[in-house]
Every structure is written in C-alpha cells, then in structure tokens.
Copies of this chain bind each other. A is one copy, B any other.
Amino acid sequence: MTIGELAKTSGVNAKLIRHYESIGLIPKAARTESGYRFYKESDAQFLRFIKRARSLGFSIKEIKTLIGLWRNKSRASKEVKALAKNHIKELEKKIKEMQEMVDNLQSLARSCHGDSRPECPIIKSLEE
C-alpha cells in the first residue's frame, strides 16, 4: 500500500502520516527501491487507533502511552483506566474554565443594551 492508499483506508491524511513517523509516533515505514514508503493492512489499523484516541482528546504524548498499553497484552486494565480517568479530569478542568468565561461574558452581554448608544458594560469591565 502506498501512503496515499493508507491515508484513504485509515482516514489520516498522508501529510500527517509522515509527520507521525517523523516524531516517532509510528515506526519508520519500509521503502521501495525508489524510496516510496509502503505499508500493510495492520498499519491502517494502527492509524485508526491513533485517530480514535485523538478524537477522544488524547494528546500525542498520551497516545504514545496508550500505544504501549495496547501492545502490552498482559498489562492491568487499571493502568488504562487510570490514564483515562486522568484525561477526563484534565478535560473537565478545561471545560470548567471555559464555562466560567462563558458565564462571565453572558452576564456582561445581558447588561449591555446592544443598541446604537456607546455605553457598554462589556468594555467597561475590561477597563477596570
């Protein structure tokens, strides 16, 4: 499989596959005589694994750990669960921060007339 075909079957675009290789997230691909990378089916599965983990918000660094856990068939499930729980905590922390921003802004926006007059509590709150 060429890198373009792998991109199609894995859903990860070729540019990104090369990048993942360059940072050591995936192993260096085998090459044809002319230097083209070539892949096998299982490489697509690997990339899909990465893509799913990304869609759950795991960072590349966390995914490296996840890959290790994935490959280690005898590791305890509590190790994986701990990683997930920790990740959930981080996500929840960010969500909370953003929700606080929204709440603050909502209350400012509510108190702003939003008409053609220049008086604006939103701006005023930034001045203080």
Contact = CB atoms under 8 A, between A and B. Distances in A.
Range for the number of chain A residues in contact with chain B: 35 or more
B126 A77 contact: no
Q: How many copies does the complex hold?
A: 2
Contacts of A17: none
B92 A95 contact: no
A26 interface: no
Contacts of A106: 88
> How would you classify the secondary structure of chain A's contact residues: helix, strand, loop or mixed?
helix
Nearest to A87: B105
A52 interface: yes
Contact of A123 (B69, B95, B101, B115): B69
Interface string A69-85: 11001111110111011
